[in-house]
Amino acid sequence: MDVFVARQAILDVKQEVYGYELLYRSSEQNCYSAVDGDEASLAVIRNVLLVIGSETISAGRKTFINFTKNLLLRGVASLLPKKTGVVEILEDVEPTPELIKALEKLRSQGYALALDDFIFQGNENNPFLELADIIKVDFLRTGREERKEIARKFSRKGTVKLLAEKVETREDFIQAIEMGYSLFQGYFFCKPVIIARRDVPGYKINYLRILKELSVESLDFKSLEAIISHDPALTLKLLKYINSSYFGTKQKITSIKRALEFLGENEIKKWASIAVVMEFGRDQPFELLRLSLLRARLSETLADILGFSEKSSSFFLMGLLSYMDVLLGRPMKEVLEEIPIGAAPKAALLGKPNQYKEVLDLVVSYKRANWTSMPQLTSRLGIDQNEVSQLYLNALGWVDRAFM
């Protein structure tokens, strides 16, 4: 069975990554039946965690995986690594003496248990509450008063963490913190906060200059060297990057000029674009930078297999810049007025239909595990869904291995 897998970050109060939930669906799954759920979960454990490795898919953080009643009773959850595995008990799983015993065994072995989509009314005496380490509350399905009631009931228990999921706005994030929630899942940190017209801070002007240098057809190495040499942070990043195990240079490179010559034009454009975006995002959650890199890499590799290899660097830059409105707190239209970029990727970032937009739509839909839109998007591009899944997993590994 082929399974599509994506991951969604779970952040703490400081907006640092606590863990990732693996979101998945089998290629044969038209509706989520018990059998399909069992098979999809088993496929994820076999093909993702055991073959690719939990370290690769979760970057060493906690890994949240949904388990059906059947798999819990069969002891399949014990295949997860104890240090990082979090067993999610689905909301439709009924507590039975046999299941409670199986969960108690998992807890005694050191596994953390999460109660998914918890609703307070009617579940005040749910036996799972005595076993749960994490209680997940869906902020789209529950009202403010119910969220507060759950928080009053459980936030004082030092052994239980409250996780607010489907948190889509900054307002909900702040509200959840005030109520006592300590973990957060959703896309609230990926949305721009526009405050009137924000000027680009002085220290970021230099980075805009670099992006302008990168936009020319033939790079001016001397000009780029001069700009980088005036920025200690970028100089350090460049030398650290060029001397990393990723390149395996025999002799240490200590000059900007030599580093640029070694990289060559294409790699310089890629590295400099990444370095600039990471500097723009210094005051943003680090996961947002990961997502920018993931979009960039996945867009680039999709371009390669779609026959756009000569334009792959433009697809990479499009993905990388797709969160610039969030990083700068300004509308994307204003941002792109100051960052030179080709007409086609610029149009895509502004929501206008073209080939770039089709690739970006596919990247965004896959990352958000919007499986219902996948068949139409992949069909339009003439690409197999399973190939996209593999490219996504490869891109995850690339982000964590090369630039983190």
User: What is the extent of the structural domain holding 269?
Assistant: 202-402
Q: Is the pLDDT of residue 178 over 90?
A: yes
Give the integer Cα–Cα distance in Å for 190 and 138: 18
Residue 327 in any domain: the answer is: yes
Give the integer Cα–Cα distance in Å for 205 and 61: 35
Q: Please give the average per-residue pLDDT across 79-84, as a whole number.
A: 86
Residue 223 in any domain: the answer is: yes
> If you ran DSSP here, which 8-state letter would residue 79 be given?
G
Tokens of residue 404, six digits: 């983190």
My answer on whether 256 and 341 are in the same domain is yes
Query: Residue 25: phi, psi to the nearest 5?
Result: -155, 140
Predicted pLDDT of residue 173: 95
Give the integer Cα–Cα distance in Å for 326 and 330: 7
Q: Which residue has the higher pLDDT, 129 or 339?
A: 129
Share of the chain above pLDDT 90, in %: 40
Residues 6+ apart with CB under 8 A from 374: 4, 362, 365, 366, 385, 388
Q: Binning pLDDT at 50, 70 and 90, where does residue 102 land? A: very high
Predicted pLDDT of residue 217: 65
Residue 37 in any domain: the answer is: yes
Residue 96 in any domain: the answer is: yes
Indicate the Cα dihedral angle 389, 393, 395, 396, nearest 10°.
Answer: 140
Q: Binning pLDDT at 50, 70 and 90, where does residue 34 land? A: very low
Element (H, E) at 115: strand 112-115
Find how far residue 12's CA is from the centre of its chain. Answer: 15
Q: Which of 136, 156, 189 is the last residue of a domain?
A: 189
Give the integer Cα–Cα distance in Å for 255 and 100: 62
Residue 196 in any domain: the answer is: no
Q: Please give the average per-residue pLDDT across 8-34, as a whole number.
A: 78
Query: Residue 372: phi, psi to the nearest 5?
Result: -70, -25
CATH for 47: 3.20.20.450
Q: Which residue has the higher pLDDT, 31 or 74?
A: 74
Count CB-CB contacts under 10 A for residue 54: 22
Cβ atoms of residues 378 and 362 within 8 Å:
yes
Q: Binning pLDDT at 50, 70 and 90, where does residue 156 land? A: low
My answer on whether 159 and 213 are in the same domain is no
Q: Which of 189, 213, 245 is the last residue of a domain?
A: 189
Predicted pLDDT of residue 93: 86
Mean pLDDT is lowest, of 106-115, 293-302, 320-329, for 320-329
Q: What is each CA distance from 138 to 210, 326, 391, in whole angstroms?
A: 43, 24, 30
Predicted pLDDT of residue 37: 67
Predicted pLDDT of residue 226: 84
**Structural domain count, the chain:** 2
Tokens 């952040």: give the residue. 11
How many degrees, rounded to 5, is the angle at CA 318 between CA 316 and CA 320?
Answer: 70
Residue 331's nearest CA partner among 198, 212, 160 is: 198
My answer on whether 263 and 375 are in the same domain is yes
> If you ran DSSP here, which 8-state letter would residue 77 be given?
G
Tokens of residue 240, six digits: 């650290």
Predicted pLDDT of residue 265: 79
Q: Which residue has the higher pLDDT, 193 or 262?
A: 262
Q: Is the pLDDT of residue 334 over 60?
A: yes
Mean pLDDT is lowest, of 118-122, 131-135, 272-276, 332-336, for 118-122
Q: Is the pLDDT of residue 238 over 80?
A: yes
Q: Is the pLDDT of residue 191 over 70?
A: yes
My answer on whether 93 and 156 are in the same domain is yes
Q: Which of 140, 168, 189 is the last residue of a domain?
A: 189
My answer on whether 108 and 164 are in the same domain is yes
Predicted pLDDT of residue 60: 78
My answer on whether 180 and 276 are in the same domain is no
Q: Specify burial of residue 75 (Cβ count, 10 A radius: 0-12, 13-18, 19+).
A: exposed
Q: Binning pLDDT at 50, 70 and 90, where does residue 53 land? A: low
Tokens of residue 151, six digits: 């928080």
Predicted pLDDT of residue 339: 79
Strand, helix or coil for residue 1: coil
Q: Binning pLDDT at 50, 70 and 90, where does residue 125 land? A: confident
Strand, helix or coil for residue 397: helix
Q: Please give the average per-residue pLDDT across 218-229, as a whole number.
A: 81
Q: Please give the average per-residue pLDDT across 85-111, as a whole number.
A: 92
Q: Which residue has the higher pLDDT, 156 or 285?
A: 285
Find how far residue 165's CA is from the centre of its chain. Answer: 15
Predicted pLDDT of residue 50: 64
My answer on whether 236 and 324 are in the same domain is yes
Amino acid present at 99: L
What does the radius of gyration of the chain's CA atoms come to, in whole angstroms? 23
> Mean pLDDT of all residues in the chain?
85
Q: What is each CA distance from 251 to 8, 221, 258, 261, 262, in whole angstroms?
A: 40, 22, 12, 14, 12
My answer on whether 11 and 128 are in the same domain is yes
My answer on whether 183 and 215 are in the same domain is no
Q: Is the pLDDT of residue 250 over 80?
A: no
Residue 270's nearest CA partner among 297, 237, 232 is: 297
Predicted pLDDT of residue 303: 95
My answer on whether 31 and 126 are in the same domain is yes
Q: Is the pLDDT of residue 155 over 50?
A: yes
Strand, helix or coil for residue 199: coil
Residue 197 in any domain: the answer is: no
My answer on whether 161 and 222 are in the same domain is no
Residue 263 in any domain: the answer is: yes
CATH for 267: 1.10.3210.10
Q: What is the largest CA-CA distance in the chain?
A: 73
Residue 355 in any domain: the answer is: yes
Predicted pLDDT of residue 248: 72
Q: Is the pLDDT of residue 29 over 70?
A: no
My answer on whether 183 and 213 are in the same domain is no
Parallel, antiparallel, or unpaired for β 17-26 and 3-12? antiparallel
Cβ atoms of residues 381 and 356 within 8 Å:
no
Q: Binning pLDDT at 50, 70 and 90, where does residue 35 land? A: very low
Q: What is each CA distance from 345 to 117, 267, 378, in whole angstroms?
A: 39, 19, 19
Q: Binning pLDDT at 50, 70 and 90, where does residue 364 land? A: very high
